Amino acid sequence: MPALGKSLIFYCKYWTEMSRLCESEGDDQDSKLEGLPDPQDTREMAKQVETKANGQAVDFLEACAPEIERHFKSIGQCGRRTSRKIVERNWQIEFNIWPKNKHCPVRAKMTAGVSIMRLEKPEIVPWIWRHGGEEADKALEYILGNRVILRSRDFGTAGMVGLGHIPVLPENLDGFDADREPLVDQVQQAFRTFGIQDLDTLWPK
């Protein structure tokens, strides 16, 4: 089974501690490392785990990509926006989406993507974004109704809604081994709730 990755699981399991260690750089950050027996060695080990976790986060998001493209090409058209390097930096993968009877827009009017939200309890969020600010928020919430699980205020980005929020760590996980496929399946299922009529209706005029 394709694994989610031990380093990613470790990073998510000990999110608060890892964030503190990995962000602790420079003299003004030394207070965050007080009490550790070997602060510099501990920081370096944390950084190594973070680097591996970044790569495993990318591997997971890349595993989601083919199904996202397949779905949106079945209901419209789709083109990838984010390079692997950007995915690694942001823990987010993005695609332009547009209706079958339209040309590829020069500037993005609607996008779909998946983000690993960097929270105390990290979550995987499949989302849709539409150009138009507050009007886009209203349109998305009106058309998608109870399929909207997260709203723009949860992202801090106008025009963005989440179709699900999936915990990265399986419930009652013991250890650092987990299969990523159930998470990929949940992402896929979330996007399946968004159909051709949704895309056509929400496309900015």
Look at residue 195 and tell me if it is in a domain.
Answer: yes
Look at residue 17 and tell me if it is in a domain.
Answer: yes
* Domain count within the chain: 1
Look at residue 140 and tell me if it is in a domain.
Answer: yes
Extract the residue ranges of the chain whose pLDDT is less than 70: 1, 24-39
pTM assigned to the model: 0.89
Look at residue 1 and tell me if it is in a domain.
Answer: no
Positions of E strands within 120-198: 123-130, 160-162, 166-167
| Domain around 36 | 6-202
In 3D space, the residue among 194, 172, 183 whose CA is nearest the CA of residue 71 turns out to be: 194
Q: Over the stretch 149-204, which tens digit does the pLDDT of each residue have?
A: 999 999 999 999 999 999 998 777 888 888 999 999 999 999 999 999 999 999 99
* Distances from the Cα of 102 to the Cα of 96, 107, 156, 197, 205, angstroms: 12, 13, 29, 14, 11
